Structure 1
């Protein structure tokens, strides 16, 4: 029995030695990376200078006015509108292109402004909610949203309205959607078409049926 116990002790000791050696090796391999991370953290804490951002000039027409900006090339169109031009009607929702609150119309096409860089739109014509209408002279789509109570908290409303205006433009141009019965025929303004085309704009308050009514009203068909 003593021989067996001694043998088991030797086996356990050997296993411990292997584990200890492995841990030491892993620690040694990780040390350079840890040192680099600590140096980076120290630089940020002490305010050591970092590489300056790459800047670029961009010119575009926004709501009928020419604008020229010098921007960090990483600036999104959404941040250029809100932070640099103070057009805060365009909302930052998810900032991942999933909610549609930041929808604007660029060269006649609706886009999520959080997913595109401002410098990509040199020479573009951009319309935000501020460019569609004013409190004194509402755009028909804005007036319809008011008449049909197409909003509650209102946060998504600017994106909803810009998207709705562009969606009707798509239908007029004959652009089909995933629910168009005949891709070769001109699409019609139906609840199914509107729900599909507006599916990228999320309303947390759930005013979807009223939004469809508002768009249908503007399209000139009975809701």
Structure 2
């Protein structure tokens, strides 16, 4: 009974924090970190302000935990580069995952981009710590493909930078994209076209048919 009770409490905590995170994303994207308000986040989440302070010490703590959550989700969902997969399948899966995150959760990408544009004051330790370890694991996979003659000799870092920038463009610069396409919003078909186009361009650039 105690174990079940603890599990139930854990699930409630996760659900409540998810609601707060979703509201916080909208607030930080709209007003930036400095302009964001715990009061408005509570209103967006339709919960009492005290409930936010139950889970987070202050706005800075909420922002830090939100960024950590975004990175955790990305590292989990983008873990597609593996020597157990062919380069074609692994890179195709990676590109699709990145594009679909830009479609389904653009605010996360915009918050992350804003943090980096402002010098990564919160993420600096991560960028020079855990991020480097994760990135090296991806670089090692690409180098293994190159050594096996499965892809052309490309710079692994710049290949990854290209994928990140091209896929996240549709979240971070969506206003420009829809204006260029003369649309009010991108459709599901538009995002599928993005996946197809980027996959073709990037795979061919790596020498993959």
Q: What TM-score comes out, normalization by structure 1 length?
A: 0.25
Larger Rg: 1
Structure with the bigger RCO (C-alpha within 8 Å, sep 6+) is 2
More strand by share: 1
Q: Give the TM-score normalised by structure 2.
A: 0.26
